[in-house]
Amino acid sequence: MREAFHDQLDAIFVDLATMCGQVETAVNRATASLMSGDAAIAEEVISADRAIDANRERVEDNAFALLSLQQPVAGDLRVVVSALRMVSELERMGDLSVHVAKIARLRVPNIAVPESIQDTVVKMAETAEDMVRRVKAIIADRDVEAAIELGRDDEVMDQLRRKSFAELLGDDWQHGVEAAVDIALLGRYYERIADHAVSVANRVIFVVTGEQVSRADR
């Protein structure tokens, strides 16, 4: 019984890592559409989100089957519920990538991000993507050390977000209200992707060690 439980749980974690890979692609392509103003890439991100949603349903069904058939208690039960939460967060990260792609699409054939602030926005995007890539490995390897490290690096995104606000609200800003609003919302989306990445990593720590990692809410 215990062995069957762990085999099924492993299968769920394989699916979660796969989903995380899909999210990584979504973040990458959303940023590509944003920085190129290419509507086709934006549409691709928006369409591909259906595959992430389908995987969510699959993982949820498997997790419920595991709960029903194996009737885990105590720690095992919390691990399966953690997996259900991870799947919700990964789906949400996909949705946030779609939001980025939709801002890109809205400004086609222009590029939503003015040149003077592209460096900061690209760094936010790369930070988010890098965090998602690391979470994929953290899930696949149940790597607690890497998960702890990810939580520490979250500060980078906060700094970039502050930097973007300083640029938007500075006297030098010459790109008007529309671009500023786009950048503020894009920053929010990338920040939320990073927040969810840390949260998923913290759930991996819990799954492996049984220790809850609390952190400030965003």
Residues that bind a copy of itself (CB under 8 A): 49, 53, 64, 67-68, 71, 73-74, 77-78, 81, 84-85, 88, 91, 95, 98, 165, 168-169, 173, 176-178, 180-181, 184-185, 188, 217-218
**Closest approach of a copy of itself to the CB of residue 58, in Å:** 15
Which tokens hold the place of 115? 């040149």
**Closest approach of a copy of itself to the CB of residue 137, in Å:** 25
**Closest approach of a copy of itself to the CB of residue 135, in Å:** 19
Of 33, 8, 45, nearest to 111 by C-alpha is 33
Which residue, 128 or 143, is less far from a copy of itself as judged by CB?
Answer: 128
DSSP label at 55? Answer: H
All residues at 6 or more sequence positions from 26 whose CB lies less than 8 Å from its CB, including other chains? 45, 48, 49, 52, 93, 94, 97, 98
Which residue, 50 or 145, is less far from a copy of itself as judged by CB?
Answer: 50
Question: In this structure, what is the dihedral angle of CA atoms 37, 41, 43, 49, given to the nearest 10 degrees?
Answer: -130
Which residue, 109 or 170, is less far from a copy of itself as judged by CB?
Answer: 170
Q: What CA–CA distance (Å, rounded) separates 132 from 27?
A: 8
**Closest approach of a copy of itself to the CB of residue 145, in Å:** 27
Which residue, 40 or 64, is less far from a copy of itself as judged by CB?
Answer: 64
If phi > 0 it is left, if psi is from -120 to 50 it is alpha, else beta; for residue 74 that is: left
Which residue, 112 or 143, is less far from a copy of itself as judged by CB?
Answer: 112
**Closest approach of a copy of itself to the CB of residue 149, in Å:** 25
Which residue, 36 or 175, is less far from a copy of itself as judged by CB?
Answer: 175
Q: Cis before residue 109, ω within 30 degrees of 0?
A: yes
**Closest approach of a copy of itself to the CB of residue 201, in Å:** 17
Residue 55, CB half-sphere, CA atoms under 13 Å: how many?
A: 26
